[in-house]
Structure 1
C-alpha cells in the first residue's frame, strides 16, 4: 500500500519497535495506522527501518536479519537502533534496562482494563484484515497440527500423561518471558529453566507464544500469534 503521509522529521519518532522474525515485522507493519516515507540513516547502520504511526505515536520498526535468531542478533539490531536514535531519529533516548516510566504505568493500566472489560485485539485484527486483504495472519488454524508426529515423538513417552488441548481464544499473560539463543523442544528442559531462572528482568517485551516448547513444537500458529502480539502492542500504545 503506497504511503500518502508527508515525511516527518527524525526527531518526531519516539517509539522504537524491534521484531525477532520477518513474520513479526509483517504483522507490526500491518498494525500501523499509517506507514511513512523512509528517511536517510547514518552510514554504517546495517538495519533496515520501517517508519509508521499508531495514534499519536511515531514509530521506528526494525527486524533481526532473516535467518539469524537468538538474543545476540536481537541485541545487535537494538544497539544499532539505539545509536541511530540518539544521533538521528530522536532526541529522547533511554536505556533498555530502564524503560520510560510511562511504559510500565500504561502496562499496569492495560492489565486492569483487561480484568474489567475486554481486549481490543479482535477489533484491531479485524481492522488489519480489512486494510491488508492479502494478509493471511488473522485466522488461527485448528489444532490439527498440534499432535503432528505424536507417534514418532512419543515413542518413549508415558501415554498416561498426554494432554489433549482444545482450541481456545488467545489469552494475554502479564508475566516474565525467557529468551535464549536456541529453540526449545524439550518439555523437561523447559520446566527446569522455568524453575531456575527469571526473576530480574526489567525490559518490557510483548511476545506471541505459538507453542508449548515441547517435542510437538510446530510453526502452525506463528503468523497468527505475531498478529495478536502486534495488536496488543497497539492497544498498549493507545
Structure 2
C-alpha cells in the first residue's frame, strides 16, 4: 500500500524489529510486523516500544491486521473491515478472558483501554461521512496493488464462498459431528447473506482483545452479546494502554470451528487499504502538530 518505498536506515543494535520505510500520500510511515508465529499483546507491545525507541518522531500508530468477526445484525462478512470506534463508555477496544466454559466468559470492563488520538478520531469522522456519499476506495486500492504486484493477485481477490458454521454444531453428540462434518461448511440459510457485490463493507464499533484465539461459536456469541462486540483479535490490548493507536481489522474468519487461513491474505489487504484511505484524509500539518507517540513512554 506504500506509494513510495524508502531506503533502509542503519540498524539499531538494541532493536530486534525489521522495518519497511516509505510514504503513503503525504505521510512518511514506518511498517513493522510481529515475528512469524508469535502473537499476543506482550509481543505487540515489545514491537511498538522498540519502534518508538528507534523512531522517536512517530506521532501515532495504526494497528492493522486480521480478526474474527461476529455474525450479527451488522452483517459482518469475510473480507469486511472493522474499525475500533470509541464511545462514552469505552475507547473502542475491551479486553476479554478466554474461558474454559461458556459460563466463565467475561469481559474486563474495569480495564479502560485508551481512545485513539484526536487526529485519528477527526479523520475517522471525515472518512465515515465521505463513505456515505461516495463509498470506500478499498477495491480501487487493491486493484492498484494487483497491477503493481501481479504475483499477489490471488491473495488480493475475494476468496469466493463465505460460509458460517451452524452454532448448534457443538451441541451435537461426537458421532453426529463426525458423520455430518460437511454440513459445517454450508452457509446458514439467511436472506441477508446475499450481497450484490463483493466489495468490502466497513463497520465501526467495539473490538475485543485477549491472549488466546477465539474459535468456538458459543463462547464468541456469549462474549459478543455481553458488550456488543464486532470482532476478536489478540494484539491491541498490548498497545492501547500506552500508545496512541487506532485498531483496524480485516475479517478473516468467524471465530468458530471453521477457522482457517484461506481469507487471511485478503482480509489483511482490505484492512491495509482502509488504513491507506484513512491516512489520505489527514493533512500533513495535523500530523506534525500532534504530540509525539512516545511522549509519556520510557524507552
**Which interval holds the TM-score relative to the shorter structure?**
0.7 to 0.9
Q: Quick one: which of 137, 140, 163 aligns to 2:188?
A: 163
RMSD: 3.2
Query: What corresponds to 2:148 in structure 1?
Result: 131
Q: Quick one: which of 251, 274, 292 aligns to 1:232?
A: 274
Q: Aligned partners of 2:214, 2:115: CA distance in 1, in Å? A: 28
Gaps in structure 2 of 5+ consecutive residues: 63-113, 178-182, 230-236, 281-299
How far the C-alpha of 1:232 sits from its partner, in A, is: 0.5
Query: What corresponds to 1:65 in structure 2?
Result: 35
SS of residue matched to 2:150? coil
Q: Aligned partners of 1:190, 1:233: CA distance in 2, in Å? A: 26
Structure 1 residues 84, 141: closer, same or farther in 2, change over 3 A? same
Q: Aligned partners of 1:43, 1:198: CA distance in 2, in Å? A: 44
Tell me, yes or no, if the aligned pair for 1:153 and 1:216 is still in contact at 8 Å: no
Tell me, yes or no, if the aligned pair for 2:61 and 2:246 is still in contact at 8 Å: no
Q: Aligned partners of 1:208, 1:85: CA distance in 2, in Å? A: 27
Q: Aligned partners of 1:132, 1:67: CA distance in 2, in Å? A: 25
How far the C-alpha of 1:103 sits from its partner, in A, is: 1.1
Tell me, yes or no, if the aligned pair for 1:82 and 1:93 is still in contact at 8 Å: no
Q: Which structure 2 residues correspond to residues 1-238 of structure 1 after superposition, within 5 A?
A: 31-86=1-56, 90=57, 93=59, 97=114, 99-135=116-152, 136-143=154-161, 146=163, 155-156=172-173, 163-164=188-189, 165-166=193-194, 168-196=198-226, 203-238=245-280
Q: Which runs of 4+ in 1 moved over 6 A?
A: 147-150, 198-202
How far the C-alpha of 1:95 sits from its partner, in A, is: 9.0
Q: RCO (CA 8 Å, sep 6+): is it higher in 1 or 2?
A: 2
How far the C-alpha of 1:196 sits from its partner, in A, is: 3.8
SS of residue matched to 2:5? strand
Q: Aligned partners of 1:171, 1:184: CA distance in 2, in Å? A: 22
How far the C-alpha of 1:134 sits from its partner, in A, is: 1.0
Q: Aligned partners of 1:112, 1:95: CA distance in 2, in Å? A: 22
Greater fraction helix: 1
Calculate the TM-score normalised by the size of structure 1.
0.73
* Number of aligned residue pairs: 200
Greater fraction strand: 2
SS of residue matched to 1:47? coil
Q: Aligned partners of 1:232, 1:119: CA distance in 2, in Å? A: 8
Gaps in structure 1 of 5+ consecutive residues: 1-30
